[in-house]
Structure 1
Amino acid sequence: MSSETADNGTATGTDERVALVTGAGHGIGRGIAHRLAADGYAVSVVDIDEDAAHEVADEIHNLGEQGDAIALPADVTDLATIEMAVEATVDSLGGIDVVVANVGVYPSGRIDALSVDSWHEIMDINLAGAFRTVKASLPALKQSDSGRIVLTSSITGPMTGYPGWAHYGATKAGLLGFMRSAALELAPEGITINAVLPGNVKTEQLEALGDEYIEEMTESVPLGTLGTPEDIGAAVAFLASKDAGFITGHPLVIDGGQTLPESQAALSEMSVSE
């Protein structure tokens, strides 16, 4: 938004800050879009699945959340479509203050069976897709008085590993390398860039992995439950806020303590104080 701001810190001529969220039609992205709208952001709900994007925008309107919402199609592997989504967001909502590069896929594939094409495909979506989203959004973010970028990484890759997700983990670790150098480049523009690192979160994609996987993952979380998209949305809302203006290049873990135990034995030693 314009660098000319009203007393409440929002851009002159609007009551809202504007957030563009990719992959917002499903799962974590959906939770992020809802949380930002509830906090009063005008949200551009961007997804390759245009019907899902419209469904989320309609939900935001129907639930009476404070912020406005529009739905836009974009494919993060195609820079032109992201640029069109950015342009449409600026035209419809007046600018962009926050960009959440959230798109991510995690098809399982062990290294010996993983094709080179499959490796490149997930890199193109998860890692290069975030780069394209940030690149396309920068001209608009530079017009904001407090530009914010939040990347959706994961504990898998930066902190942990899991058989079958070497390609996925590589993309999520790569996002943090991108984030750190981008933070230095963007700091002179007053733009921050941070990342959320979710643990296992209850989404459609996670449910597709089956009850056995869900049970295994739940047992590995000290808090005894999986995360929700709303949990991730709350973390993103903080990093997107002006309260987080002195935080940049930071990975924020949201995993219910999953990465804390040294071993399964440590989990078995847990007890509730009387």
Structure 2
Amino acid sequence: MTENKVALVTGAGQGIGRGIALKLAGDGFDIAVADLPFQEEKARAVVAEIEAMGRKAIFVAADVSKKADIEAAVDAAASQLGGFDVIVNNAGIAQVKPITEITEEELNTIFAINVNSVVFGIQAAAAKFTELGVKGRIISAASIASIKGFPILGAYSASKFAVRGITQVAAQELAPQGITVNAYAPGIVGTGMWDLIDEKLSEINGKPRGQNLKENVDSIMLGRIETPEDVAGVVSFFAGPNADYVTGQVLLVDGGMLYN
């Protein structure tokens, strides 16, 4: 096993993924920044940020809904960065729509990106950990919507409940190999995803743009919107030595919205 630690972060070109990639780089990881091909410019900017911190980084183009892309990304991380220790299945999409209006295509799309990708990531990482003899870490994106279903977020809530279940199952199955499997559950993060949710809620309930977001932020006990860095701190914990004895958990990082 090599001395350098290597992490692959999906959806790392912006938002929470970027925050996670930079935090893990600060923790001493070399980073494979995975994102869609059209996000390459943003992703390469993140690579440059990581290199400026004195760590190695590569960009890997990947559509996480495709198993072959995730397998190729894991292989690239291991071969180009010299090891493989952590996968962060971060990439995901949201959808704001009444349950009665969700189309078959929309349902298939959100599950392909939010759920299938987590299964594929677990499979690819577990295989690589086994190949390298590494007791690796698998960390996936859940949500407050994995603990409580939210109106107008039916498909999204369902996809995140699925991530929670998959995390529990994978943790039990992979524990004999020393692999831990956990997930982080953000609340309202100030990224493009919540801008989209606010916009769609406005169309549905007629409230002015920004009001739905403000009302949701007002419900946070700590009194402020969440940042990608808030989320990244929890991922850092799961990826580090202080979480050696933690597996199968979905940790809320929401400023005090839900209590589990």
1:140 Cα deviation after fit:
1.7
SS at match of 1:193: strand
1:162 Cα deviation after fit:
2.2
- Number of residue pairs matched by the alignment: 246
The letter of the residue matching 1:147 is G
Cα distance in 1, alignment partners of residues 256 and 245 from structure 2:
25
Matching residue of 2:46: 56
SS at match of 2:144: coil
**1:32 aligned to 2:32?**
no
Name the stretch that deviates more: 24-33 or 202-211. 202-211
Post-superposition CA distance 1:3-26 (Å, at most 9, x none): xxxxxxxx3xx4x21000111112
1:161 Cα deviation after fit:
2.7
Cα distance in 2, alignment partners of residues 50 and 56 from structure 1:
10
**1:255 aligned to 2:254?**
yes
The letter of the residue matching 1:214 is L
Matching residue of 1:80: 68
Matching residue of 2:201: none
Matching residue of 2:205: none
CA contact (8 A) 2:190 2:226 kept: yes
1:109 Cα deviation after fit:
1.4
Matching residue of 1:238: 237
Pairing 1:201-216 to 2, within 5 Å after superposition: 201-208=189-196, 209=198, 210-216=209-215
Larger helix fraction of residues? 2
Cα distance in 2, alignment partners of residues 214 and 106 from structure 1:
15
1:198 Cα deviation after fit:
0.5
SS at match of 1:20: strand
Cα distance in 2, alignment partners of residues 161 and 145 from structure 1:
36
Structure 1 length-normalised TM: 0.86
CA contact (8 A) 1:77 1:124 kept: yes
SS at match of 1:33: helix
Any gaps of 5 or more consecutive residues in structure 1? 3-10, 262-274
1:145 Cα deviation after fit:
3.6
CA RMSD of aligned residues (A): 1.5
Cα distance in 1, alignment partners of residues 95 and 44 from structure 2:
25
Any gaps of 5 or more consecutive residues in structure 2? 199-208
Change (3 A) 1:144 1:226: farther
> For 1:68, which of 41, 56, 79 is the aligned residue?
56
Cα distance in 2, alignment partners of residues 101 and 144 from structure 1:
21
CA contact (8 A) 1:40 1:66 kept: no
Cα distance in 2, alignment partners of residues 234 and 80 from structure 1:
30
1:79 Cα deviation after fit:
1.2
Identity of aligned residues (%): 38
Change (3 A) 1:184 1:60: same
Structure 2 length-normalised TM: 0.90
Cα distance in 2, alignment partners of residues 254 and 144 from structure 1:
31
The letter of the residue matching 1:153 is A
Bigger Rg, structure 1 or 2: 1
